[in-house]
Structure 1
């Protein structure tokens, strides 16, 4: 069983409060997700984030195939971090930690995702040319979109 990790950091010229206000609202995920993924929240995003919250989405990650994705917010520490875990969806495992930390002139946002692709060896064979590049592309889009929304960090 191979578990992969994607680790991303981004600095933004905003306060911890501004970062938390944006990131802790599940509906803002649509804003920072590429349009081609047709990201749509079906339910669960109508309240401020809390442990135990179940959020259901429809996404189109590859080849135009619509996929239902259900995540649970498992941990929340106000203005510091939250964790979402896939309960149903395209991955065999998805555990996503979001950290926010005050730095000189802004905040550092850190994402650590531990994930496992489905379909055993076949899934592992597709990881380097299908899954990993797609995740990299999504997070690159996110970084650009966050800069567009909040400005470039010049710490």
Structure 2
């Protein structure tokens, strides 16, 4: 079964600043909870993603088990959107679309993640018990971190 997670957030900064932050692969670990022990393996000369770029990481999503993960940047529409797709990792499908819309004095950012777990009915059960909650926690952390970094909010 394919699930969809959607999140939106208003960022009170320019489209250029928002785009620069999200397309810099060095910022991935910043918006990921420490509990995932997210480690980017690539060394990048580039400060911005590009179509075809592959990013390799280690992550510990559950029970401290370290997994290799590789995503490929499928599409880049400068200052509008980009899409990354898992090529290797814990999901049967992971497609993450990032969209950016100028709105008033800032930017409305929208994340749409389509994902599917392996293992059939066991994957469905794991989603109900653990995965759905874990993904919400990850994106809640991301929201709060972006509030602090790009919105200068003082969140406890």
TM-score (norm 2): 0.94
CA RMSD across the alignment:
1.2
Per the alignment, do residues 37 and 85 of structure 1 end up closer, same or farther by CA in structure 2, a change over 3 Å counting? Answer: same
Deviations 1:54-105 (A, max 9, x none): 1100011111010100000000011110000000000000010000110012
SS in 1 for 2:41: strand
SS in 1 for 2:62: coil
The corresponding residue for 1:105 is 105
Of 35-44 and 7-16, deviating more is 35-44
The corresponding residue for 2:25 is 26
Cα distance in 2 for partners of 1:57, 1:45 equals 13
Give the unaligned 5+ runs of structure 2.
none
Residue 68, structure 1, aligned to residue 68, structure 2: yes
Per the alignment, do residues 96 and 71 of structure 1 end up closer, same or farther by CA in structure 2, a change over 3 Å counting? Answer: same
The corresponding residue for 1:38 is 37
8 A Cα contact 1:37 1:59, kept in partner: yes
Give the unaligned 5+ runs of structure 1.
none
Give the total of aligned pairs. 152
Cα distance in 2 for partners of 1:56, 1:5 equals 23
Cα distance in 1 for partners of 2:9, 2:140 equals 10
* Structure 1 stretches of at least 4 aligned residues deviating more than 3 Å after TM superposition: none
Cα distance in 1 for partners of 2:97, 2:145 equals 20
Per the alignment, do residues 69 and 46 of structure 1 end up closer, same or farther by CA in structure 2, a change over 3 Å counting? Answer: farther
8 A Cα contact 1:91 1:118, kept in partner: yes
1:46-61 to 2 correspondence within 5 Å?
Answer: 46-47=45-46, 48-61=48-61
C-alpha displacement of 1:150: 1.6
C-alpha displacement of 1:133: 0.4
TM-score (norm 1): 0.94
The corresponding residue for 1:139 is 139
